[in-house]
Amino acid sequence: MVSANESEAEHSTGKFLGFDHIRFWVGNAKQAAFWYCTNFGFEPFAYKGLETGSRLIASHAIRQNKIIFVFESALLPGNEEIGAHLVRHGDGVKDVALEVDNIDAIVENAKKNGAKVLKEITEESDEHGSVKSAILQTGFGAGNFKALFESLELEQNERGNLFYKDVVQGGVRLRP
Protein backbone atom coordinates (compact mmCIF):
# COMPACT_ATOMS: atom_id res chain seq x y z
CA MET A 1 0.00 0.00 0.00
CA VAL A 2 1.24 3.49 -0.86
CA SER A 3 1.00 6.17 1.79
CA ALA A 4 -0.20 9.69 1.01
CA ASN A 5 3.32 11.06 1.50
CA GLU A 6 4.82 8.52 -0.95
CA SER A 7 2.13 9.33 -3.50
CA GLU A 8 2.76 13.07 -3.21
CA ALA A 9 6.52 12.57 -3.51
CA GLU A 10 6.08 10.39 -6.60
CA HIS A 11 3.81 12.97 -8.25
CA SER A 12 6.10 15.86 -7.34
CA THR A 13 8.99 14.25 -9.27
CA GLY A 14 6.81 12.87 -12.06
CA LYS A 15 6.28 9.31 -13.16
CA PHE A 16 7.33 7.45 -16.30
CA LEU A 17 4.22 5.78 -17.76
CA GLY A 18 5.72 4.15 -20.84
CA PHE A 19 7.11 4.67 -24.31
CA ASP A 20 4.94 6.77 -26.59
CA HIS A 21 6.74 6.50 -29.94
CA ILE A 22 10.09 6.42 -31.71
CA ARG A 23 10.69 9.13 -34.30
CA PHE A 24 12.99 8.53 -37.27
CA TRP A 25 14.43 11.14 -39.63
CA VAL A 26 14.72 9.57 -43.06
CA GLY A 27 15.21 10.60 -46.67
CA ASN A 28 11.79 9.25 -47.71
CA ALA A 29 9.20 8.90 -44.93
CA LYS A 30 6.55 7.29 -47.12
CA GLN A 31 8.94 4.61 -48.38
CA ALA A 32 10.30 3.87 -44.89
CA ALA A 33 6.79 3.52 -43.43
CA PHE A 34 5.74 1.28 -46.32
CA TRP A 35 8.79 -0.95 -45.80
CA TYR A 36 8.02 -1.47 -42.10
CA CYS A 37 4.36 -2.14 -42.88
CA THR A 38 5.20 -4.66 -45.61
CA ASN A 39 7.99 -6.47 -43.79
CA PHE A 40 7.01 -6.27 -40.12
CA GLY A 41 3.22 -6.07 -40.10
CA PHE A 42 2.85 -2.43 -39.01
CA GLU A 43 -0.21 -0.47 -40.14
CA PRO A 44 -0.40 3.21 -41.09
CA PHE A 45 -2.59 5.29 -38.79
CA ALA A 46 -1.62 8.97 -39.09
CA TYR A 47 -0.14 11.32 -41.66
CA LYS A 48 1.03 14.91 -41.76
CA GLY A 49 2.15 16.56 -44.99
CA LEU A 50 1.16 18.98 -47.73
CA GLU A 51 -2.42 17.71 -47.76
CA THR A 52 -2.83 18.47 -44.05
CA GLY A 53 -1.16 21.88 -44.15
CA SER A 54 2.41 20.96 -43.24
CA ARG A 55 4.71 22.77 -45.65
CA LEU A 56 8.05 21.65 -44.22
CA ILE A 57 7.82 18.03 -43.06
CA ALA A 58 6.03 14.85 -44.14
CA SER A 59 5.31 12.47 -41.25
CA HIS A 60 3.99 8.93 -41.59
CA ALA A 61 2.98 7.26 -38.31
CA ILE A 62 2.59 3.49 -38.19
CA ARG A 63 1.76 1.10 -35.39
CA GLN A 64 1.71 -2.50 -34.36
CA ASN A 65 -0.12 -3.06 -31.09
CA LYS A 66 1.54 -0.60 -28.65
CA ILE A 67 4.61 0.03 -30.85
CA ILE A 68 4.46 3.35 -32.71
CA PHE A 69 7.06 4.57 -35.22
CA VAL A 70 6.91 8.01 -36.83
CA PHE A 71 8.97 8.55 -39.99
CA GLU A 72 9.71 12.16 -40.94
CA SER A 73 11.37 13.65 -43.98
CA ALA A 74 11.82 17.17 -45.28
CA LEU A 75 9.47 18.31 -48.02
CA LEU A 76 11.93 20.94 -49.26
CA PRO A 77 15.59 20.36 -50.11
CA GLY A 78 16.58 23.49 -48.18
CA ASN A 79 15.58 22.06 -44.77
CA GLU A 80 18.95 22.52 -43.08
CA GLU A 81 18.19 20.75 -39.81
CA ILE A 82 16.98 17.45 -41.27
CA GLY A 83 19.30 17.67 -44.29
CA ALA A 84 22.43 18.17 -42.18
CA HIS A 85 21.36 15.35 -39.86
CA LEU A 86 20.86 12.94 -42.78
CA VAL A 87 24.18 13.87 -44.39
CA ARG A 88 26.03 13.26 -41.15
CA HIS A 89 24.13 10.22 -39.79
CA GLY A 90 21.92 8.84 -42.56
CA ASP A 91 18.42 7.51 -41.85
CA GLY A 92 17.89 6.73 -38.20
CA VAL A 93 16.25 7.37 -34.86
CA LYS A 94 15.95 11.07 -34.02
CA ASP A 95 14.27 10.69 -30.64
CA VAL A 96 12.39 8.40 -28.32
CA ALA A 97 9.21 9.92 -26.89
CA LEU A 98 8.24 8.91 -23.38
CA GLU A 99 4.82 9.21 -21.80
CA VAL A 100 4.93 10.84 -18.37
CA ASP A 101 2.30 12.04 -15.92
CA ASN A 102 3.92 15.39 -15.06
CA ILE A 103 6.35 16.76 -17.64
CA ASP A 104 7.05 19.91 -15.62
CA ALA A 105 8.21 17.88 -12.62
CA ILE A 106 10.16 15.41 -14.79
CA VAL A 107 12.11 18.18 -16.55
CA GLU A 108 12.76 20.06 -13.30
CA ASN A 109 13.97 16.88 -11.60
CA ALA A 110 16.16 16.02 -14.59
CA LYS A 111 17.76 19.49 -14.47
CA LYS A 112 18.46 19.12 -10.75
CA ASN A 113 20.22 15.83 -11.48
CA GLY A 114 22.44 17.30 -14.19
CA ALA A 115 20.51 16.53 -17.38
CA LYS A 116 21.05 18.85 -20.31
CA VAL A 117 17.80 20.32 -21.63
CA LEU A 118 18.07 20.78 -25.39
CA LYS A 119 14.56 22.20 -25.81
CA GLU A 120 12.47 23.59 -22.97
CA ILE A 121 8.84 22.52 -22.51
CA THR A 122 6.60 23.64 -25.36
CA GLU A 123 2.92 23.03 -25.98
CA GLU A 124 1.30 22.42 -29.36
CA SER A 125 -2.47 22.52 -29.79
CA ASP A 126 -4.99 21.94 -32.54
CA GLU A 127 -8.64 20.93 -32.80
CA HIS A 128 -7.80 17.42 -31.55
CA GLY A 129 -6.09 18.48 -28.31
CA SER A 130 -2.71 19.55 -27.03
CA VAL A 131 0.67 17.96 -26.41
CA LYS A 132 3.49 19.16 -24.17
CA SER A 133 7.03 18.14 -25.01
CA ALA A 134 10.65 18.83 -24.12
CA ILE A 135 13.93 17.42 -25.36
CA LEU A 136 16.52 16.12 -22.91
CA GLN A 137 19.93 14.88 -23.93
CA THR A 138 20.52 11.25 -23.09
CA GLY A 139 23.38 10.04 -20.97
CA PHE A 140 24.33 7.42 -23.54
CA GLY A 141 27.45 9.08 -24.89
CA ALA A 142 30.33 7.89 -27.02
CA GLY A 143 32.23 6.53 -24.01
CA ASN A 144 29.36 4.30 -22.87
CA PHE A 145 28.62 3.20 -26.43
CA LYS A 146 32.22 2.18 -27.07
CA ALA A 147 32.44 0.32 -23.78
CA LEU A 148 29.27 -1.59 -24.57
CA PHE A 149 30.55 -2.66 -27.96
CA GLU A 150 33.95 -3.65 -26.61
CA SER A 151 32.29 -5.92 -24.07
CA LEU A 152 30.12 -7.56 -26.72
CA GLU A 153 33.12 -7.95 -29.01
CA LEU A 154 35.09 -9.64 -26.23
CA GLU A 155 32.18 -11.99 -25.58
CA GLN A 156 31.99 -12.84 -29.30
CA ASN A 157 35.76 -13.47 -29.47
CA GLU A 158 35.53 -15.84 -26.52
CA ARG A 159 32.88 -17.88 -28.35
CA GLY A 160 35.08 -17.86 -31.48
CA ASN A 161 32.26 -18.37 -33.98
CA LEU A 162 32.56 -16.23 -37.12
CA PHE A 163 35.36 -14.00 -38.29
CA TYR A 164 35.00 -10.82 -40.33
CA LYS A 165 36.33 -12.48 -43.50
CA ASP A 166 33.77 -15.29 -43.14
CA VAL A 167 30.92 -12.81 -43.35
CA VAL A 168 32.03 -10.21 -45.91
CA GLN A 169 34.07 -12.19 -48.43
CA GLY A 170 32.03 -12.71 -51.58
CA GLY A 171 32.40 -14.67 -54.78
CA VAL A 172 33.92 -17.68 -53.06
CA ARG A 173 32.55 -21.08 -53.96
CA LEU A 174 32.09 -23.35 -50.99
CA ARG A 175 32.43 -27.09 -51.31
CA PRO A 176 29.20 -29.02 -50.66
Q: Read off the CATH number of the domain in which 77 is found.
A: 3.10.180.10
Q: What is the pLDDT of residue 146?
A: 57
Residue 79 lies in a domain: yes
Does residue 173 lie in a domain region?
A: no
Q: How many domains does the chain have?
A: 1
pLDDT in tens, 17-51: 999 999 999 999 999 999 999 999 999 999 999 99
Contact 62, 68 (CB under 8 A): yes
β-bridge pairing 16-25 and 67-74: parallel
Question: pTM to 2 decimals?
Answer: 0.71
The string of pLDDT tens digits covering residues 95-109 is: 999 999 999 999 999
Domain, as residue range, for 32: 4-161
Q: Please report whether residue 167 resides in a domain.
A: no
Report residues of the chain scoring pLDDT below 70: 1-11, 139-176
Q: Is residue 168 part of a domain?
A: no
Domain-located, residue 49: yes
42 domain-assigned: yes
Edge-to-edge strand ranges of the sheet holding 92-100: 43-48, 57-64, 67-74, 16-25, 92-100
Helix axes 4-13 and 103-112, enclosed angle (nearest 10): 80
Would 59 be classed as within a structural domain? Answer: yes
176 located within any domain: no
Q: Are 75 and 50 in contact (CB under 8 A)?
A: yes
